[in-house]
Amino acid sequence: MNHPIGRRIFVKQGALAFMALGLPPDFLMRRLLAGTLGMDRKKTLICIFQRGAVDGLSMVVPFGEDAYYSVRNSIAVPRPARGQDGTALDLDGFFGLHPALRPLLDLYQSGEMAIVHAVGSPHPTRSHFDAQDFMETGTPGVKTTTDGWLNRVLQETRCSDCGGRTLNDATAHAADHAAGQAAMATVPSLRGVAMGSALPRSLRGDHPALAIPDLAAFGVRGGDAMARGFRSVYRTARGDAVTSAADEAFEAIKILEKLDPARYAAANGAEYPQGEFGRSLQQIAQLVKADVGVEIAFADIGGWDTHVGQGGVQGQLAQRLRELASGVAALHRDLGDRMEDVIILTMSEFGRTVAENGSGGTDHGHANCMLAIGGGVKGGKVLGRWPGLERDQLYEGRDLALTTDFRDVFGEIVTGHLGVDHMDRIFPAFEADPARYRGVLG
């Protein structure tokens, strides 16, 4: 059964994306089974995508490399200097944080934040669109992958109710529950949530997930008439899985409407930055603390494509880093003790050139850096093998070389933090090897 008009209303008016546009009609026929289970899980992964390719060499500065300064005349972040503002924040005598990231320094020093440098996709593309797709699908170089790696994680996560079978085997899982091995949850899934108007590629797939632009406006707009119209689109005479999907969608709306985001007060004195990114992180915190079953949350922050006028200690890059740091620090503070069960992971599609260009910016590059923050993180270290910045050490003579595949970082976190067992199902055609893990988790 195919109802394209109903789907448009569902997404546009409701801002609710149980499916990405283009998914096959039988998506709704899965009864949202996987999404109705596992509501009492305690671990959450919060992914932050820095879209546009952040300059990782300014984000986490290799101030111990003379070559960094020899090719960056106006945008290099100065070496640390005791008692002076506007210099790199020394981490280990070789690397330093951009001074705009100062709100994160305490997390690093307390062992709650780890950095992986020279990490990224092994594919050579410098196209934003392709590189973002490859990172979100988890299949670098393969353009035919239709689902995202985070959606596959949700499919593979074990049901905490029945304690055994993975959600990937939906038919057998349903039989288990029908046989009385566990009680079917009565509320729909909120296991995978993205803050935005559409699901990112990483969360698209067979497992249901939500796209929420704003909790305060979440729901099927248009009042009772629109709600009745929505129900009529998906309700069938048999009362089958399509009807169930529609009913469960409304249950999700009811749950989230009860959160009353307008009255939410951040805890522990946390102050989120103004704007969409800060609001997204605050609402993620609200969802986590409301215990509605969120296991994976996703937020975007753009503005990293700094070809012109990038700036050094000050400028457009510093402004974006300041927003990132203040948002992440506020999220960490707001969640408080819950950070013991949360990991925040940053990512970007690729890095930028080592050398400054003629417009005071940087061009599309290769390897980059990631931040991992949380109670399970073995922090206080810059991890990975550093390749060096001398010309003969660079990728194609211009970029930071890759020494860690992003799938090894993702893999370490989802196995150690979320309990995924079968990495071949998360990253097909990629041979996972714990020996390559960088020690992000304690």
220 and 16 Cβ atoms separated by less than 8 Å? yes
Is residue 395 in a domain?
yes
> Looking at the DSSP assignment, which residues form a beta bridge with residue 77?
none
Lowest mean pLDDT segment, chosen from 33-47, 88-102, 282-296:
33-47
Task: Give Cα 186 distance to the centre of its chain.
Answer: 28
Is residue 347 in a domain?
yes
Containing 332, the helix (H) or strand (E) segment is helix 316-335
The pLDDT of residue 239: 52
Q: Name which of 395, 392, 411 is nearest 403 in CA terms.
A: 395
Task: Give the CA dihedral 362, 367, 369, 372, nearest 10 degrees.
Answer: 150
The pLDDT of residue 428: 95
DSSP type of residue 23: -
Lowest mean pLDDT segment, chosen from 7-11, 59-63, 368-372:
7-11
The pLDDT of residue 383: 98
Is residue 54 in a domain?
yes
Sign of the CA dihedral running 11, 283, 321, 332:
negative
Q: What residues contact residue 183 under an 8 Å CB cut-off, 6+ apart?
A: 161, 177
The residue assigned the tokens 């039988």 is 26
Is residue 197 in a domain?
yes
Domain ranges, residue 321: 4-436
DSSP type of residue 49: E
Going through 148-212 in order, the beta strands assigned E by DSSP cover 192-195, 210-212
Instruction: Assign 190 a pLDDT band (cuts: 50, 70, 90).
Output: confident
Q: Name which of 269, 317, 361 is nearest 101 in CA terms.
A: 317
404 phi/psi in degrees, rounded to 5: -135, 125
Is residue 403 in a domain?
yes
The pLDDT of residue 248: 54
Instruction: Assign 231 a pLDDT band (cuts: 50, 70, 90).
Output: low
Query: For the segment 80-104, what is each residue's pLDDT rounded down to a tens digit?
Result: 998 899 999 999 999 999 999 999 9
For residue 163, pLDDT over 50 is answered with no
> Looking at the DSSP assignment, which residues form a beta bridge with residue 61?
96
> Looking at the DSSP assignment, which residues form a beta bridge with residue 441?
377
Is residue 376 in a domain?
yes
Is residue 378 in a domain?
yes
Single-letter amino acid code for the residue at 334:
D
Lowest mean pLDDT segment, chosen from 185-189, 299-303, 405-409:
185-189
296 and 193 Cβ atoms separated by less than 8 Å? yes
Number of domain units in the chain: 1
Is residue 442 in a domain?
no
The pTM score is 0.84
The structure tokens listed for 439 are 């020690």
